[in-house]
Amino acid sequence: MMFKRLNRDAGERVFMVCQANEANIASDDVVMFELTAASVDGVKIGQPTTAGLSAVIGIADAAIGNGAFGLVQVYGYRSTCRVQLTGTSVTPGMVLQAANAADYLAFGGTIPANLSPLFVALASVATSATSATASTKIFIRCM
């Protein structure tokens, strides 16, 4: 893990080194630990699935090629992250969660009782489109 040096100008951020176990993991993608028996090693990551939403570990800091290693942000403020909007707005403080088979966060639904909110919106986002993906500021709490 990499802990960003503390200072008064920027909040703390924590990163984990992970290996992509699928193609097309881009910057700002939500990722989870792989749960396929042959791939479970605490390092391999992929796109969230319904069965693995509790295994979400954070947001890819930059694109990671299949089989390559890269950084995943697991804690702290992040200035960019994709959020799926469905004709409404996201307001600061709103709880966001990983979406099944998607590389973005969504809001709504019920957080399971055994999970605390992993992602919280820190900025407002609004759209007039029925369904769109926008970038917003978030706080990550996945460790």
Q: What is the pLDDT of residues 7-48, one digit of tens each?
A: 777 778 899 999 999 998 999 999 999 887 777 888 999 988
Nearest to 72, CA basis, from 26, 136, 24, 133: 26
User: Rounded to whole angstroms, what are the CA distances from 108 to 7, 84, 97?
Assistant: 34, 11, 8
Q: Which amino acid is at 38?
A: A
| Model confidence, pTM | 0.85
| Residue 71 token pair | 């950084």
Average pLDDT over residues 117-136: 75
pLDDT in tens, 55-111: 889 999 999 999 999 999 999 999 998 888 766 677 788 888 888 888 888 876 555
Q: What's the pLDDT score for residue 115?
A: 60
What's the pLDDT score for residue 5? Answer: 67
Can you give the pLDDT at residue 70?
A: 96
From 26-30, 80-84, 117-121, 125-129, the region with the lowest mean pLDDT: 125-129
**Closest C-alpha to 136, from 82, 74, 76, 91:** 82
For the beta carbon of residue 44, count every other beta carbon within 10 angstroms: 19
